[in-house]
Structure 1
């Protein structure tokens, strides 16, 4: 087994767990169940509500982030059954890593200098770019410069739509929704003319639309998706980077991307993808 050294401390806890099991004969209350259920497993944070990337469906997990995470875990010596999937909301990701709630996070987690003050990253495993999603029969919008007088949806608190307004189309009308799924519904219903965020997120939504929506395919920013890990764990970063490199070289990376964006016509920016993972070493 090639399980990373940072997780081997759990082996010692197995001894304690065995002692606890004996103690349970006397007092069941003395033994905690959550920790024992995770002994010898790897805990990975993902999104549960993002089709095509991290999506929980009938007790199973699917998406490109999930496929990359599973490949990394297998390379580290864990079987699929050894993976504990945990929801990692954007505002909680740094705290989850710092508190040891998860061993790594793959949740469209962009590598930034600000975040590296609190956690470390491996990767990147994908380079996204801000793009637009429109109705499949709409050929009038070919890029952000075509949005003047149009209605553009993004998620509350996101800077994506503001970027479009400030840099490309000052007369665009902005609308905010609580989630991108609701933006997609507004687009499908004709309430808005376009949705903006990272291209691979849009591709996942388009793949879920049964051919009704499409990604324009003209990204105008770069977002480097990394694997979030505990700050300073260079050994784990090196192992994760090796796994990502292997996934790219054996074709699994492309197959996962194709499977999770099927039918959308989505192609990642070839200038940056597939990326070279060297972060955190």
Structure 2
């Protein structure tokens, strides 16, 4: 009898734990599709793409407007959207835990990432570029031989540049940072020789003392990113991007933020 009571207690505890874990998990797909409030991850350090307006305390930029339009086409005009700042390192985990429903944050589509996340078709295409001090005397990619490149954590930049360096027969060193302002500060102080990321991002950090080298690498296609489990939401988001391309809305948003393809 005592043995049976112990077994019964363990089974009950196990069932309770399972219920608890299920309740704490990410919301199911139907719940995500019928939300009144949609949570979207965005950048807060990329001028023209995602940045908080210091006066209004609202996020602004190309990707903010793209995400708003996508959400309206999925959920209706009255949907409430809550934006949350993410980095290249945090955006994936926040999707996986269900804290975010989708991400529009210069998230480059790759075959490897497709194994973990759902991506829409690209809404913007860019290339990796290099920003250096004018006074440093660098002229092109090969002149960076032996120098240190500042890159963002968990971004595709380092891999793209390493492949290009191997092909060009030069050596590079890399230093990773958690945000773009940190990389820019490292370049200003001389801790790195170059700030490298997608060209559209670099353009927001250019000033009279900086320049972009002429080289460009690895096309970077940005897609709205959604957790792998939410296939229906991903399909609807992809359909929304497709419609925005056809009816001209995507191009209008690009023009609003001074972007070209």
Aligned residues: 228
> Which structure features the higher share of helix residues?
2
For the Cα contact (< 8 Å) 2:148–2:174, is it kept in 1? Answer: yes
**Do 1:123 and 1:240's aligned partners in 2 also have CA atoms closer than 8 Å?**
no
The Cα offsets for residues 42-87 of structure 1, whole Å up to 9 and x where unpaired, read as 1111122332322223311022221211121122244487111123
Distance 2:186 2:123 in 1: 31
**CA drift at 1:120:** 1.7
Does residue 117 of the first structure (1) align with residue 142 of the second (2)?
A: no
Q: Which sections of structure 1, spanning at least 5 residues, go unmatched?
A: 11-39, 269-281
TM score, norm. by length of structure 2 = 0.68
CA separation in 1, counterparts of 2:129 and 2:165?
A: 13
- Find the counterpart in structure 2 of residue 7 from structure 1: 32
Q: What is the correspondence of 1:1-281 to structure 2 with a 5 Å cutoff?
A: 7-10=32-35, 40-58=36-54, 59-79=57-77, 82-134=80-132, 141-142=139-140, 144-148=141-145, 152-155=149-152, 159=158, 162-168=162-168, 170=170, 177-187=177-187, 194-206=194-206, 209=207, 213-216=210-213, 218-260=215-257, 262=258, 268=261
Is contact 1:44-1:85 (8 Å) kept?
yes
Between 1:235-244 and 1:77-86, the stretch displaced more is 77-86
* C-alpha contact (below 8 Å) 1:217/1:267 kept by paired residues: no
Paired with 2:189 and 2:152, the residues of 1 have a C-alpha distance of 17
**Which stretch shows the higher mean deviation, 121-130 or 150-159?**
150-159
Provide the TM-score with structure 1 as the length reference: 0.64
CA distance 1:253–1:139, change in 2 (3 Å): farther
* Other structure's SS at 1:239 match: helix
Q: Cα gap change, 1:154/1:90 in structure 2, threshold over 3 Å: closer, same or farther?
A: closer
Q: Distance in 1 between matches of 2:224 and 2:37?
A: 18
* SS state at 2:52 partner: strand
Alignment RMSD (CA, Å): 3.5
* 1-structure distance, mates of 2:89, 2:188: 29
C-alpha distance in 2, partners of 1:168/1:223?
20
C-alpha deviation, 1:181, in angstroms? 2.1
Deviation at 1:116, TM superposition (A): 3.0
Q: In the aligned structure 2, how far is the partner of 1:199 from the partner of 1:250?
A: 27
Cα pair distance change 1:267/1:163, threshold 3 Å = farther
